Amino acid sequence: MRFASALLLALLAAVPSLRATDLKLVRVWPEWRTEDSFARISEFFSGVENSGGQTILRSQPTERAGLYFLVRTEAKTAIPGARVELQVLLPGVEQAKKFILTADVPAGSHVTLAGVTGADWPGEKTAPVAWHLAVLAANGTVLASEQSFLWAKPVPAKK
């Protein structure tokens, strides 16, 4: 009897983690950003990058130029320790590159720029063939995801 009670309590404790997430990806927009596009007058005086209230994540933290995914989120509650898992397929490459960037997701509406920067991206003229972006909780649970149209397309069989 004690075992059954303990099992029931364990299952009930797990229910909140199984419920639908309160996170919504309102928009995911990929675009190339130059290093200069991040410069603000306040940085000239302070020497510190001004994020403008956005969260800026970079695969190469010291490099600013790169392909960024503007991610607008709506969250009912803050999500500490969230991970942005970004997979991009480059032209002429069969295997997607995977990047994991970590940041808290605040409650309410918020913009995060998730960038593949520096040596991780071939350059301004290169566009991804396909991409997939997922926001994961600290425990690895997928909270929300978005992908390009071509990400869902089946890979043709080799003849």
Going by pLDDT thresholds of 50, 70 and 90, the confidence category of residue 20 is very low
Q: Answer whether 82's CB lies under 8 Å from 105's CB.
A: yes
Q: Answer whether 110's CB lies under 8 Å from 77's CB.
A: no
Residues with Cβ within 8 Å of 57's Cβ and at least 6 positions away in sequence, in order, are 84, 101, 102, 103, 112, 113, 114, 115
pTM: 0.81
Q: Answer whether 73's CB lies under 8 Å from 112's CB.
A: yes
pLDDT value of residue 75 = 97
Going by pLDDT thresholds of 50, 70 and 90, the confidence category of residue 104 is very high
In the predicted model, is pLDDT for residue 79 greater than 70? yes
User: What average pLDDT is seen over the chain?
Assistant: 87
- pLDDT tens-digit series, residues 28-78: 999 999 999 999 999 889 989 989 999 999 999 999 999 999 999 999 999
- pLDDT tens-digit series, residues 141-152: 999 999 999 998
- Cα gap 55→65, rounded to integer Å: 16
pLDDT value of residue 31 = 97
Domains of the chain: 20-152 (2.70.50)
Residue 117 backbone dihedrals phi, psi, to 5 degrees:
-120, 170
In the predicted model, is pLDDT for residue 3 greater than 50? no
